[in-house]
A = this chain, B = another copy of it.
Amino acid sequence: MQLLEQKICKEGKVFEGDVLKVDSFLNHQIDVGFLCRLGEELHRLFADCGVNKILTIEASGIGIACITAQFFHCPVLFAKKSKTVNIAGNLWTSRVHSYTHNTDHDVVVSKSYLGAGDRVLIIDDFLANGSALEALIDLCRQAGAEVVGAGIAIEKVYQGGGEMIRRKGVRVESLARIASMDTEKGIRFC
A28 touches B78 (CB 8 A): yes
List of B residues within 8 angstroms of A73 by Cβ: 33
Q: How many residues of A contact B (CB 8 A)?
A: 30
A29 and B75: CB pair below 8 A?
yes
A113 contacts the other chain (Cβ, under 8 Å)? Answer: yes
Quote the shortest CB–CB distance from A56 to chain B (angstroms).
10
Protomer copies? 2
Select A24's contact among B36, B80, B109, B112, beta carbons within 8 Å: B112
Q: A31 at interface (Cβ–Cβ under 8 A)?
A: yes
Interface stretch of the complex, out of A60-68, A136-144, A178-186 = A60-68
Closest 5 CB pairs of A and B: A58-B59, A59-B59, A30-B76, A62-B62, A29-B113
Residues of A within 8 A of B (CB): 23-25, 28-33, 35-36, 58-59, 62-63, 66-67, 69-70, 73-78, 80, 109-110, 112-113
Q: What are 8 A-B contacts defined by CB distance under 8 Å?
A: A23-B110, A32-B66, A35-B66, A63-B66, A63-B76, A63-B78, A66-B66, A67-B67
